[in-house]
Amino acid sequence: MMSKVIVTDALMVHGDSIVLHPSLAPWQQRLLRMHQAWSKALMQTPLSVYAAILNVAPASLMAQIFAQEIENAAQVCVVSPFHARLTRSSLRVMPDEMLDVSAENAAELCEVLNPLLTEDGLQLIAHGRTLLLTCDREWDVQIPDFAEISGQSLPETMPQGQDGGQWMRLISEMQMMLHQHPIITPTGLPILGLWAWGKGDGQNIDVSAAKGVATRSPNLLAWSQFTGKDENAEMMITEAAYVPELLKAEAPMPKVWQLQGGGKRVDLTSSLLTACLSRFKKPSWQGK
At 281 the pLDDT is 62
Q: Work out the angle between the directed axes of helices 218-227 and 46-54 (0-180°, nearest 10).
A: 50
Nearest to 143 by CA among 92, 96, 196, 202: 196
Segments making up each domain of the chain, as ranges: 4-46+207-287, 57-200
At 205 the pLDDT is 80
At 274 the pLDDT is 60
Give the bridge partners for 39, in sequence order.
265
Distance CA 200, CA 75 (A): 6
β-strands 264-269, 35-40 pairing: antiparallel
pTM of the predicted model as reported, rounded to 2 decimal places: 0.90
Distance CA 168, CA 159 (A): 7
Nearest to 97 by CA among 197, 21, 198: 21
At 270 the pLDDT is 85
List the helix and strand counts (H, then E) for the chain. Answer: 9, 14
At 159 the pLDDT is 78
> How many other β-carbons are positioned within 10 Å of the β-carbon of residue 68?
5
In Å, how far from its chain's centre is CA 145? 8
Exposed/middle/buried for residue 48 (C-beta within 10 Å: 0-12, 13-18, 19+):
buried
pLDDT by residue for the chain (288 residues), tens only, comes to 688 999 999 998 877 788 999 999 999 988 998 999 999 998 999 999 999 999 999 999 999 898 878 878 999 999 999 988 776 656 678 777 778 899 999 999 999 999 999 999 999 999 999 999 999 999 999 998 999 888 777 776 667 899 988 998 998 899 999 999 999 999 899 999 999 999 998 777 887 778 889 999 989 999 998 888 777 788 999 999 999 999 887 778 899 999 999 889 999 998 765 655 556 567 778 765
Q: Are 247 and 257 in contact (CB under 8 A)?
A: no
**What three-state secondary structure class fits 274?**
helix
